[in-house]
Amino acid sequence: MAATDLERCSNVEPEPRSLSLGGHVGFDSLPDQLVSKSVTQGFSFNILCVGETGIGKSTLMNTLFNTTFETEEASHHEASVRLRPQTYDLQESNVQLKLTIVDAVGFGDQINKDERPIVDYIDAQFENYLQEELKIRRSLFDYHDTRVHVCLYFITPTGHSLKSLDLVTMKKLDSKVNIIPIIAKADTISKSELHKFKIKIMGELVSNGVQIYQFPTDDEAVAEINAVMNAHLPFAVVGSTEEVKVGNKLVRARQYPWGVVQVENENHCDFVKLREMLIRVNMEDLREQTHTRHYELYRRCKLEEMGFQDSDGDSQPFSLQETYEAKRKEFLSELQRKEEEMRQMFVNKVKETELELKEKERELHEKFEHLKWIHQEEKRKVEEKRRELEEETSAFSRRKVEALQSQALQATSQQPLRKDKDKKKASGWSSIYSVTIP
């Protein structure tokens, strides 16, 4: 057979043949093995509660899981939205559940009502999982998966319409997490108002393109109930851990002067529907949707951002190795370019500094020449002055000598007269004049 024929043959996968078994083999126990393995391993489920401070988040969580989670009340003065995750180990029959409840503390409370911290938290959990997946030695088996499986979005029972904060936040979250909107404190709104409010909310969500979680209808076993429940969204819930005696039974309820609101009475609120849909029917679907839809989207964007592709421009499959090599080459040439750029920058800087220094040197030289010239001028002037002074001094000396000489001459010409006069005087003193010529 020619090489091309061989290649062609190896590319075509043969259809698997159906065979019947002669007797019981035992692989029909695979589902049981799977269940047993999952039960041993335990499950994790992470709920994100988003809603304004005091809307009833903690009360509803306590009511849903029929326990008391330790929670502290949020202050209305938080500077910004802060995510507070708390993990609990729960057990029901032989099933272990690692439950994480994440509170968006301060949401809807401040002027700065940014939903960014919530988005960042969800992304951070995806990133942690991705990093674990990319490790050479992965330990996904005992990895504590903190990815958010569901976001319970608590809507304030205003009876009006959704706040723009709610729409913006849900829009930002809908591609990252399964959102189940719920109307909180539904006992504070009348039945007819609640009905209109639900219709309005769903209309607004649709017109704003917000994708909320739809209970799946592809599994026959739950298709019917899920389809019915999808029509009941958003669930209007009441939370309470208080027990009130109704008839001869103790039930969880909220007691008012005018009557009792029973949490688990379907005529009073949708709490039972929520518990049914969230925990008893669709918990696994929420986990699966998180992995196959939301995490997959995050992973794809992240890997593409990092330069990984499944195929090149001609739709040829790209192996991880090829992508890595291509990316490495790209990175090295980028590094080289940056290095060259920096070297050029350095050379330019040195040249600039050299020019500046030369200019400074020239300026200094000019200054020096100027000062030298001033100094010589001054010296010349001083020299001139000195000469003038010397001339004046010698002229003065000459005149002085002349003056003294003329005085001496005058004195000698008058001497005989004086001698006569002196002789006439009785005294015998005489005067001697001496002239010293300098």
Strand order in the sheet with 235-236: 82-92, 95-105, 43-50, 150-155, 179-183, 235-236
Q: Which is nearer to ligand GTP, 129 or 235 (CB)?
A: 235
Are the C-beta atoms of residues 129 and 144 closer than 8 Å to each other?
no
Q: Is 50 exposed, middle or buried (0-12, 13-18, 19+ CB in 10 A)?
A: buried
- Residue 262 binds to ligand GTP (criterion: CB under 6 A): no
- From the list 207, 225, 210, the residue with the least C-alpha distance to 180 is 210
Select from 70, 63, 68, 67 the least CA-distant residue to 261: 63
Q: Which one of Mg ion, ligand GTP, none interacts with residue 152, CB within 5 to 8 A by kind?
A: none
Q: Is 59 in the site for ligand GTP (CB under 6 A)?
A: yes
At closest approach, how far in Å is the CB of 114 from Mg ion? 20
Give the single-character DSSP code of 353: H
Half-sphere exposure at residue 253, Cβ-oriented, CA atoms within 13 angstroms: 18
Please report whether residue 110 would count as binding ligand GTP according to CB under 6 A. no
Q: Could you tell me the smallest distance in angstroms from the CB atom of residue 152 to ligand GTP?
A: 11
The piece of 55-63, 144-152, 193-201, 423-431 that touches ligand GTP (CB under 6 A) is 55-63
| Nearer of residues 60 and 173 to Mg ion, judged by Cβ | 60
Query: Which of 44, 48, 57, 226: binder of ligand GTP (CB under 6 A)?
Result: 57
- How big is the site for ligand GTP, counted in residues (CB under 6 A)? 16
How far is it, in rounded angstroms, from Cα 270 to Cα 298?
33
Q: How far is the CB of 180 from Mg ion (least distance, A)?
A: 18
Min dist CB 244 to ligand GTP, Å, is 14
3-state helix, strand, coil in the chain (%, to 5): 55, 15, 35
Binders of ligand GTP among residues 202 to 261 (CB under 6 A) are: 238-239, 254
Query: Which residues would be at the binding site for Mg ion (CB under 5 A)?
Result: 57-58, 71
Determine if 187 is a binding residue for ligand GTP (CB under 6 A). yes
**Residue 178: which of ligand GTP, Mg ion, none does it interact with, CB under 5 to 8 A by kind?**
none
Nearest-CA neighbor of 215 among 197, 200, 233? 233
Q: Closest by alpha carbon to 326, among 339, 343, 313, 345?
A: 313
Q: Name 401's Cβ contacts closer than 8 Å, sequence gap at least 6.
A: 437, 438
| 188 touches ligand GTP (CB under 6 A) | yes
**Taking the complex as a whole, how short is the minimal distance between the CB of residue 170 and ligand GTP, in angstroms?**
18
Stretch that binds ligand GTP, among 3-11, 54-62, 210-218, 219-227 (CB under 6 A): 54-62
How far apart are CB 101 and ligand GTP at their closest, in Å?
Answer: 10
Nearer to ligand GTP, 81 or 148 (CB): 81
Q: Are 217 and 277 in contact (CB under 8 A)?
A: no
Task: Answer for the pair 161, 200: CB distance below 8 angstroms, yes or no.
Answer: yes
Residue nearest to ligand GTP (CB): 56
Residue type, position 197, single letter: F
Q: Is 56 in the site for ligand GTP (CB under 6 A)?
A: yes
Instruction: Give the contacts of 197 (CB within 8 A, at least 6 positions apart).
Output: 157, 158, 159, 160, 183, 189
DSSP notation for 120-144:
HHHHHHHHHHHHHHHSSS---SS--
Bridge partners (DSSP) listed for residue 85: 102
CB 277, min distance to ligand GTP, A: 18
Which region, judged by CB under 6 A, interacts with ligand GTP, from 25-33, 180-188, 201-209, 334-342? 180-188
Region of 47-55, 110-118, 194-202, 221-229 interacting with ligand GTP (CB under 6 A): 47-55
From the list ligand GTP, Mg ion, none, pick the one residue 56 interacts with, judged by a Cβ distance below 5 to 8 Å according to partner type. Answer: ligand GTP
Question: Whose Cβ is closer to ligand GTP: residue 28's or residue 73's?
Answer: 73
In sequence order, the β-bridge partners of residue 252 are 243
The single residue among 5, 28, 32, 73 that binds ligand GTP, judged by CB under 6 A, is 73
Question: Which spans of this chain sit near ligand GTP (rule: CB under 6 A)?
Answer: 53-59, 73-74, 103, 185, 187-188, 238-239, 254
